[in-house]
Structure 1
Amino acid sequence: MEKFSFNFFGAVGSRANSDPVAYTSATEDGVTAEEVPQQQGLKVTDQPTVVTFDNEVALLKGMVTSEQAAAALAEPELQASDLVPRKYEGGFKLWEGAVDLCNFLIQQHQLTPQLLQEHSPSSSLRHKKVLELGCGHGLPGVLCHLAGAAVHYQDFNKQVITSLTIPNMRANLARLQQGACREAARFFAGDWEAVGHMMAMHGLGGYYDIILTAETIYSPESQARLLSCIKQVLQPPHGVVYVAAKSFYFGVGGSTASFADLVKADGILECKQVWKVEDGQSNKREILKLNFPEAITPYFL
């Protein structure tokens, strides 16, 4: 398997006049969010690493070293840690929950390499409006994008979006047959609460059919911010959320049980486990599904 890296400090292209307006927003405490124009994504260099999932589905991904991440964010701590609270949320690393989420989507929507290569994919994800929160590499979002969904990507750090998420998306779309048609993508950076507020203010409130997120409920504080964003942008009454996570995050306080309790106490959404990995060789992991109660459906007819 070949080593892969992105041109981390390469030139950034100028924004085309036809780009959608890139919004910015800030909460009362000054936490910011912004839309990142796709033209700010850096170019791919060398050869991507191939990640193989169920059904022989394979996606390409890049790599940013700890040293590159620390330099990009001006945070020396990143050379020794995957998380710097409120500064870096682990976006440069491919977490196992993201792999679980891809495998879950492949099985749920019966995705195959052949289907993902179709000019107009005949999958159940076609034309769905998908948001991946805390996307990092963005592979679950890329998978949905290849399957015909309109995908928006969000990460805490703009540098993750420009140096990893956008190049990953481009590398995978570049493998499509000539003339293949896929929906446009959008990219957002910033804190979840600020991003949710910005989206709600600019036409994306209650917008998404499917929200994906992996390894984002590692602490009680992160859980509350994530749920706040989800509630602002999930489309009622049939929107669904898939949360891939470790059952326990030792040392930082998060767990799938504590997140499920938070959702229940909040009272807006329902939560249940739909996937479990417990092989005795790795961390116990789960995927939780969040959805609106069926009782609200008549109000949206």
Structure 2
Amino acid sequence: MSFKFNFDIEADGEDVETVGVEATPSVPVEETSPGSSKISAQLHSLDELIAKLPPHIAFSPLAIPLTPSKTITIPRRELFDVKMQLMAEDNNPSTNTNQNFSAAFTDEDIRTNTYEGGLKSWECSSDLVKQLATDSEIWINSDHRILELGCGTALPSCYILQTLLSKPSDHRVHLTLADYNIDVLRLVTLPNLFLAYLHATDNLPSTDPSVTEGSEETPEIELTPTVISSFLSTLQSHNITISFLSGSWSPTMISLIHGGLEYPSTTSETMYSLLLASETIYSPSSIPDFVDMIEYALSNSGKGYIAAKDVYFGVGGSVKDFVDMIEAKTWKWEIIREEKRGVGVGRVVGVVSKS
């Protein structure tokens, strides 16, 4: 299936703000192309994805207003830069690329079982960043295993990383980022983590208009061996490890999370104390799989921060459908942030807990 959400979104490099306009339902179109089966889950190491990085990354800062006097800045890779990399790879016969990923550059927001919208920074991910900043005492001063499902451009994880790297810490943190597409992980997720590191360590080129006035060039970084080595050593000195998962939410992914244990076996040592997700409940058919991921990944004492639109017109998912499923398991759901005024479709950030 292919869909166009027609929601107000913050598309990378093309931020859109439409106030007071209701979202228009779009009609699902049957996907008739081959290769529509789900992508199998795979575990990827940081070293594996570093080997797939481009030599340069063009970026721009995303400003997320927290209060009238405070703004959170998260640098992210420019979408045009991703397109240029993919075109270069298409022209290189020796490059092993996923031809189906061309769906990412059509007018569709998602193409079911092919591309799930991971190249765009959706509104709810910014809402989740705001809530993480508000609740920083929950995660900033303790050991944590953190999982972001459907990470895409990974704004919440980037915010956590740049916050952790901006101060000394003796706490251990393991960060796992999962997206349906391995191409999303290599093209935007990991590059954005590098940008978060450089931002936290004050090593990004200036994006201040007063400094760059008269220049039409987009700032970029060069991913030299020195930069990569410094990134890895900084993670090590802060006791931070990072891993990645691609593919569908499934028993296989759950098994990979738990070190290869057969589904649905779990171990407390491999459960996550903090689970993050934004814009992951748009499809009614995938909500049960998402709830399974929460059940077998989130620890009994952990918190799952879920950011979503109230309803996804034309696609069918809704917060109510999701909440009905988790309440059937006698879990708790608490809305801790609402964005209702001046937006086309209401948005919420809620916390799932098992006890």
TM range (shorter): 0.7 to 0.9
* Cα RMSD, aligned residues only: 2.7
The count of residues paired between Structure 1 and Structure 2 equals 254
Whether the aligned pair in 2 keeps the contact of 1:208 and 1:234 (CA below 8 Å) is: yes
Residues 50 and 99 (structure 1 numbering): CA distance in 2 closer, same or farther, change over 3 Å?
same
Give the equivalent residue in structure 2 for 1:222.
Answer: 286
Is 1:156 equivalent to 2:180 in the alignment?
yes
Q: Is the 8 A contact 1:125 1:144 kept in 2?
A: no
Does 1:57 find its partner at 2:72?
Answer: yes
Partner Cα separation in structure 2 for residue 216 and residue 30 of structure 1: 16
CA distance in 2, matches of 1:143, 1:133: 15
Give how far 1:52 is off.
1.6
Structure 2 match to 1:184:
241
Deviations along 1:234-258, whole A, 9 cap, x unmatched?
112x111011000010011101111
Question: Which runs of no fewer than 5 residues in structure 2 stay unpaired?
Answer: 1-11, 14-36, 91-96, 165-172, 202-229
Once the two structures are superposed, what CA deviation does each residue of 1:79-109 show, in whole Å capped at 9, x if it has no partner? Answer: 1201111111111111001000001111121
Three-state SS of the structure 1 residue aligned to 2:147 is: strand
Bigger Rg over Cα: 2
- Aligned to 1:89, what secondary structure does the other structure show? coil
C-alpha displacement of 1:262: 1.1
Once the two structures are TM-superposed, the CA of residue 198 in structure 1 deviates from its matched residue by: 2.0
Could you tell me which residue of structure 2 aligns to residue 34 of structure 1?
42
Offset of residue 34 of structure 1: 1.1
TM-score (normalizing by structure 2): 0.65
Aligned-partner SS, 1:144: helix
- Asked if the contact 2:119/2:152 (under 8 Å) is kept, the reply is yes
Higher relative contact order (Cα pairs below 8 Å, separated by 6+ residues): 2
Q: Which residue pairs with 1:102 in the alignment?
A: 129
Any conservation in 2 of the 1:199–1:205 contact (CA below 8 Å)? no
Alignment of 1:163-174 (within 5 A): 163-174=187-198
SS in 2 for 1:290: strand
Determine if the alignment matches structure 1 residue 272 to structure 2 residue 280. Answer: no
Sequence identity (%): 23
Aligned 8 A contact 2:161 2:196 in 1: no
Task: Normalising by structure 1, report the TM-score.
Answer: 0.76
Which of residues 77, 87, 90 is equivalent to 2:114? 87
Over residues 169-221 of structure 1, what are the superposed CA-to-partner deviations in whole Å (9 max), with x where a residue is unaligned? 01111233388643121111111113123213437754111000000000111
Q: State the Cα distance separating 1:268 from its structure 2 match.
A: 5.0
Helix, strand or coil at the partner of 2:124: helix
| Partner Cα distance (2:319, 2:38) in 1 | 30
Describe the SS at the equivalent of 1:192. coil
Is the aligned partner of 1:282 residue 2:344?
yes
Distance change in 2, residues 1:44/1:216 (3 Å): farther
Say if 1:197 and 1:232, in contact at 8 Å, map to a contact too: no
